[in-house]
Structure 1
């Protein structure tokens, strides 16, 4: 590669990085290609690093240019690939910052667990690979040390209903009262037999306020919140639980589109259209959610299935106002999607507003009962 061509390629890479980062701030409803361009941020970051290395090996002064850009773009690196020592220790030890929580002021910490439970695999086709998955998942949640659980794609059979599984899906009782937690279920659907679908928050602290946020109409994709009264310094805090628009991408279609030219021609356009429409919906939902968060009278925690990666508009607008738990204390990409789509997808998030301090965050990759891994974090309320 000639020197002139190398210079031009370097400038092209830096321009690509600039445009892709700018695209994170453009909602898909304004520019349909913006979500796709934002997804390329990691590629441009890698190329920028390679160009810095290329010029450094040749001892050229232009090395300073990609290096300076990398320094300025370091928050982008940390967004997708945080490298915190505390996160590495948590991965090695298998717990969520217990030692840090013990050093915090008594009564000033809150442990939050969030999980997309995929209706606890209630349907036979979901539990076929592991018939014991529903019982194991419910038992694991009931035994969790978390103070608050935020669950998406929730399912329960309340008292008075019957199923072939007896009382297996009396989740409100098992994870709630029997485990010392109060519960608020935001129902998006109640079927003919009385079974409930929606979102749920379980809390060991008293629930003193509650509400729902419908994105147009109350569907599976909506948000909810509770105010919980904690002991001592914790006082009252508001916790949001959200499930944003699905990516609407069928895994089999993705496999076909990537396996052959014919598959790409038959499935590629449909996949692209669904992704663009989903990104536009999530952008609007994130803006709506953020408006509610800004009006909250108490310190805020936000958890949920956002169906979007860190390089997206939805993530960007929320991270602009709140700390992301994994990006603040984690180590590595932190994939939360447990399926056959491309790996390293962190689409389940927890965020904290001021004056919360994130003490630690862990992704429970050892819990395989859903197509999402649970996320757990510990927070301290600072003065």
Structure 2
């Protein structure tokens, strides 16, 4: 009775209620009720406090500790979304006859072609394209892609002939989904490059075709199986990094920047909720084993991520260790770039390539294994 009346016990119950409410907020579409997105963002704090409650009550009263411990066990998949821990996970072993697929996903930031992004002699652009061209990956999914045709206007000559360098010259087929071709013939959009034959392809627009859209290819593996790979880039926040830092560094900054940031945050989360719902409907119509590469522009504790994680394996949450931050900027611990796999796949590994700092996103590299008969009787549906 004394325990139930104690301040610590009441705080524990409040934490449990907060945790359950935050999980509910993650599952509410911002299109229906956008303030729920703010509740979802508090989920990491609620998860951490619940674990603290487990430790506290283990020292005070193990019977009470059972309550937050059971909740921690049931909500562990949510914990893994933001901080992946696999202390007892055995090294994956591919069985005989399983087919390996090596996949790289990267937001290449138009290879820094704009003057404000370039460095001396366009060294970062050159190195990034060379790294992608030489990469042993079977498939490359690139967001914010840029390509110049032969005889393009850049002073570097053939430097930005990226489709040719990453594609044909590297032994890969290319599918470029173009959202803009300017007066000089330069192409902007997204791209998928594959060493496997491309037997189908398509583009998915969100209302109208912009930089934020999706594309897919159907690939024929050596054993004859067909897989589908999606590459998509969801709505950005359109929020300047400096404005975000200023907003939480001082009260004046919050007053000056806060309201504008709030409006842009709302527009972004609502747009992404509509976009991910559109994609989920398409995913549900496909019976091929799927791999997804995405710049979600959203964190693991969001409706966008939740809709994908409920249906697919997130590669980092499955095999990674730590936060797995992919944003290359002043905001720490932000993972907005993700790879997902449908249940047929075994995820071998996923690595964030921190040694490739040529964009505001770090690339991610993964190895997947597919049972040989996984698509023997499957049929894809557009």
TM-score range, shorter chain: over 0.9
Inter-CA distance 357–237: structure 2 relative to 1 (3 Å threshold): same
**2:378 aligned partner:** none
Q: Aligned pair 1:240/2:234, yes or no?
A: no
SS of aligned partner of 1:126: coil
SS in 2 for 1:283: helix
Indicate yes or no: 2:200 matched with 1:209.
Answer: yes
Corresponding position: 1:36 with 2:38? yes
Counterpart of 1:9 in structure 2 is 11
> CA separation in 2, counterparts of 1:130 and 1:4?
67
Q: Do structure 1's residue 132 and structure 2's residue 123 form an aligned pair?
A: yes
TM-score, normalisation: structure 1: 0.92
Matched, 1:261 2:251: yes
Q: 1:172-203: per-residue Cα shift (whole Å, max 9, x none)?
A: 11100000000000001111111010000000
**Contact 1:87 1:331 (8 Å CA) reproduced:** no
Matches within 5 A, 1:1-383: 4-59=6-61, 61-85=63-87, 100=93, 103-105=94-96, 108-128=99-119, 131-232=122-223, 235-341=225-331, 343-382=332-371, 383=374
Deviation, 1:42, is 0.7
2:377 corresponds to: none
State the shift of 1:84 in Å.
2.2
Distance across 2 between alignment mates of 1:129 and 1:325: 36
Give distance in 2, aligned partners of 1:263 and 1:128: 31
Structure 2 distance, partners of 1:129, 1:63, is: 59
Q: Aligned partners of 2:162, 2:63: CA distance in 1, in Å?
A: 63
Confirm or deny: 8 A CA contact 1:358 1:380 kept in the other structure: yes
User: How far apart, CA to CA, are the structure 2 residues paired with 1:206 and 1:35?
Assistant: 41
Higher relative contact order structure (alpha carbons within 8 Å, sequence separation ≥ 6)? 1
Deviation readout 1:64-103 (Å, 9 max, x if unpaired)? 11111111111111111111259898xxxxxxx8xx5xx4
In the aligned structure 1, how far is the partner of 2:289 from the partner of 2:211? Answer: 26
Deviation of 1:204 after TM superposition, in Å, equals 0.3
Counterpart-to-counterpart distance in 1, 2:89 and 2:266: 33
> 1:107–1:232: 8 Å Cα contact kept in structure 2?
no
In 1, the alpha carbon distance for the partners of 2:126 and 2:88 equals 33
Q: What is the number of residues matched between the two proteins?
A: 369
* Other structure's SS at 1:17 match: helix
Q: Deviations over 1:313-347 (max 9, x none)?
A: 11111111111111111111100111112x11111
TM-score between both structures, scaled by the size of structure 2: 0.93
Between the aligned partners of 2:106 and 2:205, the Cα distance in structure 1 is 20
* Unpaired segments ≥5 residues, structure 1: 90-96
Tell me the CA shift for residue 55 of structure 1: 1.7
Q: 1:6 to 1:86 in 2, by over 3 A?
A: closer
State the 1:164 CA deviation: 1.0
